[in-house]
Amino acid sequence: MEEFAVDDPTQLLEAAADFANYPGVRTDESVKEFFSRFPLPVVINALQAKAEIPGLENTLVACLDRIFKTKYGASLIPHYMPFVQVGLQADSQAVRSLACKTVTRLLEETDPTTQLAPQLIVDYNIYPLLIECLLNGNEQVANSSMDALKKLAAFPKGMEIIFPTNKTEATHLGTVASTCSSLGRVRVMALIVKLFSVSSSVASAVYNSNLLNLLESEISNSNDTLVTLSVLELLYELVEIEHGTNFLPRTSFLQLLSSIISNRSAESILRSRAMVISGRLLSKENIFSLVDESCVRILISSIDEILGSSEGQDVNVCESAFEALGQIGSSKWGATLLLSSYPTCVKYVINAAFDRHEHGKQLAAMHALGNIFGETRSENDIMLNDNAEENLGDLIYQTASRSPKITPSGLILAVLQQDSEIRLASYRMITGLVARPWCLMEICSKQDIINIVSDASTETTKIGMEARYNCCLAIHKAFMSSTRLTGDPALAGIASKLQEAVQNGPYLSRRKLETQPAIMTAERF
């Protein structure tokens, strides 16, 4: 490409720097104007020539990145696939990252109904080069490669490339993972998780290719804490993906997580993450109809044992356990299971929720109780079966009787008088709990509780105002539904206060925020 050599690289450097650093959006016209001075072959040749000019490579990479982000620049990519091919094999990590991003732009600008981009990737043998970048590039290159591969998977032909029928092919992700380094294996698994999020059909292809087995095997067999933790973080990400609920119950992940939680010799950080991930998985809608109940019981029993042991004194472990129990208890089925079969487990959470000595544990416990009590559930699913409800009431009254506050209303008022974080969690907890008649009676027995939840000036943040209002609304709704309380003249003041607070809405009214003129008599001398 000698005919495309630039006479003065410093002029190109200056122009490329101006283009790359321009603060506004680059348009197609600006790209064409740049190319009128320095055609694309000239820029590419200068990048490949490796001229000894400080900053030239990084500047040209940044310039080309912005060029290819425009529609016009992206339209040129199919005509420069040899450059992409060479760039993916460059010694420079910056150039390799640019080449990966260029593949992504090619795929982004290709009509999904056509096969142009995937066919170019086949014709120029791009896929194996992207895999090589994934395995052996630096972190930036690996991430750019993953983005390109994720885009490729969205095409039908792209799925054929990534998921070949012959599972022994060298480019099959299972084969790749079995022959690369431990870092490469983690990156392949990270790619699998990203592919899972593309669509349900791609998620199905991942599952049918047995690629989730890679994560299962790594969790089961790795003796490296850092590797196991990395895979657990990938599993956490996978649990949060919409399509995960359809496939994860068919795997052994829940059993593996239970094994980690119950393994006393495992690092506490691994057990903590396993608890949180288990809770996240079990919080998904309809998940309990898909998983084995015996496995869920084993998992909860393991958490129960941890909270009852000396390990339960570890703040991080305890907070993770509470988060897991709160996630499990967010569904009606989970909350019923916890309160009916594992009341001692819930007892640990309740005790911590009203213990002011450890703020982090108290906060985690209160948010967990908010879920278990039903704050996140629909109105029809807040109340549980008779056995669970009886155990819930007993646990609250027992905790109160052993505290200086004596009554549940005393406990509730005490947490409402703490800092804003605890108050926010208190509102969530009360919002669910007040659906129980006994709790409504306790709340109405303390005027100070009503004063706090009905006062719009109590909170100053948007999330705090809305949580307070939702709590007030729940109390008002429960009050108005109670024929016993609405007919009590002594509670008429509470009824009107709640009604007024509900009508005023969640935010402090403007008339209370506006400066009031001060009127005073003039001083006379």
Q: What is the pLDDT along the chain (525 residues), one digit of tens a residue?
A: 344 555 677 888 888 899 888 888 888 999 999 888 888 998 888 888 766 777 888 999 999 999 999 999 999 999 999 999 999 999 999 999 999 999 999 999 887 777 889 999 999 999 999 999 999 999 999 999 999 999 999 998 999 999 988 877 888 898 998 888 889 999 999 999 999 999 999 999 999 988 999 999 988 887 788 888 999 999 999 988 888 778 888 888 889 999 999 888 888 889 999 999 999 988 887 788 888 888 889 999 999 999 888 877 788 888 999 999 999 999 999 999 999 999 999 999 999 999 888 888 999 999 999 999 999 998 889 999 999 999 999 999 999 988 777 889 999 999 999 988 999 999 999 999 999 999 998 888 888 888 888 888 888 888 888 898 899 889 888 888 877 666 666 667 788 888 888 888 888 654 444 444 555 555 543
CA dihedral 219, 224, 226, 230 (to 10 degrees): -20
- Compute the distance between CA of residue 161 and CA of residue 159 in angstroms, rounded to an integer: 5
- Compute the distance between CA of residue 288 and CA of residue 296 in angstroms, rounded to an integer: 9
Q: Which two three-digit tokens encode residue 503?
A: 């009508």
Q: Which residues have CB under 8 Å from 322's CB, separation 6+?
A: 349, 352, 361, 364, 365, 367, 368
CA dihedral 361, 365, 368, 372 (to 10 degrees): 160
Residue linked to tokens 């969640």: 506
Which stretches within 112-263 are classed as H helix? 116-123, 126-136, 139-153, 156-162, 173-179, 182-196, 200-208, 212-221, 225-239, 244-247, 253-262
Q: Which two three-digit tokens encode residue 9?
A: 């690289």
Q: What is the pTM of this model?
A: 0.81
Half-sphere exposure (Cβ direction) of 159: Cα atoms closer than 13 Å: 17
Dihedral over Cα of 311, 315, 319, 322: its sign: positive
- Compute the distance between CA of residue 448 and CA of residue 453 in angstroms, rounded to an integer: 9
3-state helix, strand and coil shares in percent for the chain, rounded to the nearest 5: 75, 0, 25
Distance of CA 210 to the CA centre of its chain: 25
